[in-house]
């Protein structure tokens, strides 16, 4: 069956009462799905299908931040939207994230999340 999806808006699905084990299974199912972001916090899962507008806005923010860091001679490493996790409790994918200075940690020093709201 074929159907039209409105790609102009972010699509969200939130479900509560999900174990960490089940979340990891869901996460594995979306591993090759670009444009899908998964979040988990203490039993609540959010699946976000980001819109083209969302991605464009995220790209503009990345460009502006990169320009600022270069102009101010701030060492940085863009780490994109890699998954940051606290085993068994939380998992998140920022739109953009950065290690600042000589930081080499697994948790970003700066994470940016684009959120569109109505109104």
**Selection from 5-9, 45-49, 104-108 with the highest mean pLDDT:** 45-49
Q: Using only C-alpha atoms, what is the Rg of the chain?
A: 16
Whole-prediction pTM? 0.73
Whether the per-residue pLDDT at 11 is higher than 90: the answer is no
What average pLDDT score do residues 93-110 get? Answer: 84
What average pLDDT score do residues 88-103 get? Answer: 88
Hey, is 28 helix, strand or coil?
Answer: helix
The mean of the pLDDT values for the chain is: 86
Q: What is the pLDDT of residues 35-85, one digit of tens each?
A: 888 999 999 999 988 888 888 999 999 999 999 999 999 999 998 887 888
């Amino acid at each position: 069956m074929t159907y039209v999806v409105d790609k102009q808006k972010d699509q969200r699905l939130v479900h509560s009462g999900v174990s960490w084990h089940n979340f990891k299974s869901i996460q594995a199912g979306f591993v090759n799905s670009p444009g899908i972001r998964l979040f988990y916090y203490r039993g609540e899962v959010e699946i976000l299908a980001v819109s083209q507008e969302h991605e464009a806005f995220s790209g503009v923010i990345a460009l502006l931040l990169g320009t600022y860091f270069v102009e101010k001679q701030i060492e940085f490493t863009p780490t994109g939207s890699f998954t940051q996790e606290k085993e068994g409790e939380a998992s998140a994918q920022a739109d953009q994230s950065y290690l600042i200075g000589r930081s080499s940690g697994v948790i970003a020093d700066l994470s940016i999340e684009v959120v569109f709201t109505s109104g």
